[in-house]
Amino acid sequence: MRFNWKKSAILASALLGTGLMAQAQTDPINIVTTATPFLRISPDARAGGMGEAGIALSPDANATFWNNAKVPFASSNGQIGVTYTPWLKDVASDVYLVTLGGYYKIDDQQAISGGLRYFNLGSIQFADENGALQGSSNPKEFSIEFGYSRKLSEQFGIGLTARYINSSLGNGTEGSDMKAGNAFAVDLSGYYNGLDEAGQGFTAGLTLSNLGTKISYTNDPDAKQFIPANLGLGGAYHAVLDEDNKLTFALDVNHLLVPKTPDLDGTDEEVSQQMADYYNTGVFDSWGKSFSNSAYSGSLGAEYGYNDQFFLRAGYYLESAGAGDRHYFTAGAGIKYNVFNFNFAYLAPSGSSVNRNPLSNTLRFSLVFDLGQQKNY
Within 10 Å of residue 276's Cβ, how many Cβ atoms?
12
CB 169 within 8 A of CB 136: no
Contact (CB, 8 A) for 343 and 45 = yes
Judging by beta carbons within 10 Å of its beta carbon (0-12, 13-18, 19+), is residue 263 exposed, middle or buried? Answer: exposed
Report if residue 129 sits inside a domain: no
Enumerate residues 6+ apart whose C-beta is below 8 A from 216: 181, 223, 224, 225
Lowest mean pLDDT among 53-62, 150-159, 242-251, 364-373: 364-373
| Higher pLDDT pick, 129 / 287 | 287
Q: What percent of the chain has pLDDT over 70?
A: 84
2 occurs within a structural domain: no
Distance of CA 290 to the CA centre of its chain: 18
CA distance 94 to 109: 43
pLDDT grade, residue 29 (50/70/90)? Answer: very low
Domain assignment present for residue 246? The answer is yes
Q: What is the pLDDT of residue 26?
A: 41
pLDDT tens string 43-76: 999 999 999 999 999 999 999 999 999 999 999 9
Residue 29 to residues 23, 230, 324, Cα–Cα distance (Å):
7, 21, 11
CATH number at residue 326: 2.40.160.60
Mean pLDDT score across all residues of the chain: 86
User: Domain span at residue 195?
Assistant: 42-123+136-258+293-371
DSSP string, 173-231: STT-----EEEEEEEEEEEEEEE-TTS-EEEEEEEEEEEE--B-SSS-TT--B----EE
CB 232 within 8 A of CB 250: no
Instruction: Read off the pLDDT band of 11 (50, 70, 90).
Output: low
First to last CA, the chain: 60
Q: Report the 10 Å Cβ neighbour count for 62.
A: 30
Give the whole-angstrom CA distance, residue 46 versus residue 344: 7
Could you give the number of structural domains in the chain?
1
Q: Note the pLDDT tens digit of each residue in 220-246.
A: 777 789 999 999 999 999 999 999 999
Q: What is the pLDDT of residue 207?
A: 98
Q: What is the percentage of the chain residues whose pLDDT exceeds 90?
A: 59
Helix (H) or strand (E) holding 79: strand 78-86
Q: Residue 61: inside a domain, yes or no?
A: yes
Q: Helix count (H) and strand count (E) of the chain?
A: 5, 16
Q: What is the pLDDT at residue 161?
A: 98
pLDDT in tens, 68-101: 999 999 999 999 999 999 988 777 778 999 999 9
d(Cα 211, Cα 225) in Å, to the nearest integer?
13
Instruction: Answer yes or no: is 36 within a domain.
Output: no
pLDDT reported for residue 143: 98
Residue 244 lies in a domain: yes
